[in-house]
Amino acid sequence: MAKIEDILALEQIENDIFRGTATETLLQRTFGGQVAGQALVSAVRTVEPAFGVHSLHGYFLRPGNPDKSIVYQVERIRDGRSFGTRRVTAIQNGKAIFTMSASFHVEDHGIEHQDTMPTVPMPDDLADAVELDEPEYAWARKEWSEWEFRFVPQDRIARRPGSASQQQLWFRSRLRLPDDPVLHVCTLAYMSDMTLLGSSMVIHRDEKIQGASLDHAMWFLRPFRADEWLLYDQTSPSAGFGRALTQGRIFDSSGRFVAAVVQEGLSRT
């Protein structure tokens, strides 16, 4: 499969218009994380380097064709002294398949606090998903062989009181990535879509559903590297009417809370 640097290497075809090439995949539809990651790259390339992305909010409008390239059109909504805003529309076959707003911020000083990382087994104490013979992890062996996933067994998760459905895993790129912080941010946008909707299925293992990402929101809280271990602490607080709400907190191995994710996905039977 394609390397993440190749997936996120967009071609600029006009002012504020970029193109992402099709990449090798086994999926029937373009992976949502790929569209979100490429859209974020296009937005980043229209702001000054002093501005770092701190949030994104996206909607998946139509399924993408993985065999065709995608064009990203960026609108410069605002350029302020501290904040900047971009709106990106991903277009394929003349139709919008994804739209995203991204906000950028120049670092300020202010109050500081964070949640404590859950008590979980460390990655070295867990099996690599590609070594597990369970069908639900087959996608990890085929589609994302360059990413390392280590799921925390359900009987070793420290349960949050009242949590309906919960899942935890460690993940990272198997390959060392360039030092560019922007690449790591856009890589995490790509990776954040990989397992999150699965947290809604933990207590519905025997159900057959049609699943797809509907929307995706992220907040980037602290610096990190996507080629170092990150803990994805996921919950699904609600599912009903053919939709499932999922949430994720991402910590680095030292316990720093680096990103937060919320996604609603299709989950109809």
Does some domain include residue 155? yes
- Tens-digit pLDDT profile for residues 32-86: 999 999 999 999 999 999 999 999 999 999 999 999 999 999 999 999 999 999 9
CATH number for 101: 3.10.129.10
Same domain, 203 and 263: yes
* Residue at token pair 């490429």: 38
Same domain, 139 and 240: yes
73 labelled catalytic: no
Q: Are 153 and 170 in contact (CB under 8 A)?
A: no
Same domain, 130 and 223: yes
C-alpha to C-alpha distances, 48 to 45, 90, 101, 104, nearest whole angstrom: 8, 22, 17, 10
Look at residues 52, 85, 108 and tell me which one is the last residue of a structural domain: 108
* Residue at token pair 């087959």: 138
What is the pLDDT averaged over residues 155-161?
89
Same domain, 218 and 91: no
- Does position 135 have pLDDT exceeding 70, yes or no? no
Residue tagged active-site, from 42, 92, 168, 213: 213
Same domain, 83 and 150: no
* This model's pTM is above 0.85: yes
Same domain, 102 and 138: no
Give the pLDDT band of residue 27 (cuts 50, 70, 90): confident
234 labelled catalytic: no
Domain that holds residue 60: 1-108
pLDDT of residue 140: 65
Q: Are 213 and 267 in contact (CB under 8 A)?
A: no
CA separation for the pair 212, 79 (Å, rounded)? 34
The structural domain count of the chain equals: 2
Neighbours of 190 (CB within 10 A): 23
Same domain, 136 and 238: yes
Give the helix/strand (H/E) hosting 154.
Answer: none
Same domain, 134 and 174: yes
Q: Which two tokens stand for residue 194?
A: 């990989």
Same domain, 65 and 129: no
What is the pLDDT averaged over residues 85-92?
98
Look at residues 85, 108, 131 and tell me which one is the last residue of a structural domain: 108
Residue tagged active-site, from 193, 227, 233, 252: 193
Same domain, 103 and 129: no
Environment class of residue 184 by beta-carbon count within 10 Å: exposed (0-12), middle (13-18) or buried (19+)? buried
Which residue would you say has higher pLDDT here, 27 or 95? 95
* Residue at token pair 């394929």: 92
Residue tagged active-site, from 34, 42, 200, 263: 263
Same domain, 140 and 235: yes
Look at residues 62, 79, 108 and tell me which one is the last residue of a structural domain: 108
263 labelled catalytic: yes
Residues in the chain: 269
CA separation for the pair 34, 196 (Å, rounded)? 15
Same domain, 134 and 102: no
Does some domain include residue 116? no
